[in-house]
Amino acid sequence: MTTPIFMPTPSTQVRWWWKPPAWCAVAAGRVLAKIPPARLRRVLESVSAGARPATAQEAQRALDAVLSSSLRCRGEYCLQRSIATALLCRLAGTWPEFRVGAQSQPFRAHAWVSVNGTAVGELPETIRGLGTLLLIPPRPVTR
């Protein structure tokens, strides 16, 4: 978003069968990162419906696949990276908590995914001091 945050390389080797879905998620993330925030919220809430909550391992695996599939997502494009990670989780039937946060002094903004309130693949100082502006939690089907 505004603060340059560079992600490390993936924490584990990504299996070959995760690459094509990751490329699709990265491409969709690039398109969705350009739409207005209110519309992005509606789209992601719709996509998250019916998904079970992702575990930390599932979210990390999706993040690793995104990072290994896109040099762009390793750089400053945190919104695209977090959207792609959430979408890749959704392809596997899960949904992490999608978050966008900001602080005012000095202004900085960042997007990330978390599980049970714990950021996945982020350094603690990266999200320290950020207030959550947008949170899209998993919405499992209730019967």
Is residue 66 domain-resident?
yes
Is residue 141 domain-resident?
no
Shortest CA distance to 96 belongs to which of 85, 104, 105, 107?
85
What is the pLDDT, as a whole number, of residue 124? 86
To the question of pTM greater than 0.85 for the whole model, the response is yes
What is the pLDDT, as a whole number, of residue 4? 53
Is residue 10 domain-resident?
no
82 Cβ contact list (under 8 Å, min separation 6):
29, 98, 99, 100, 111, 112, 113
In the chain (143 residues long), the average pLDDT of successive 10-residue segments reads: 55 76 95 96 96 96 92 89 97 96 92 95 88 92 69
Shortest CA distance to 43 belongs to which of 87, 1, 79, 80?
87
Count of domains observed in the chain = 1
What is the pLDDT, as a whole number, of residue 90? 97
Is residue 9 domain-resident?
no
Is residue 39 domain-resident?
yes
Residue 59 lies in domain = 17-136
Is residue 127 domain-resident?
yes
CA distance 108 to 101: 9
Is residue 85 domain-resident?
yes
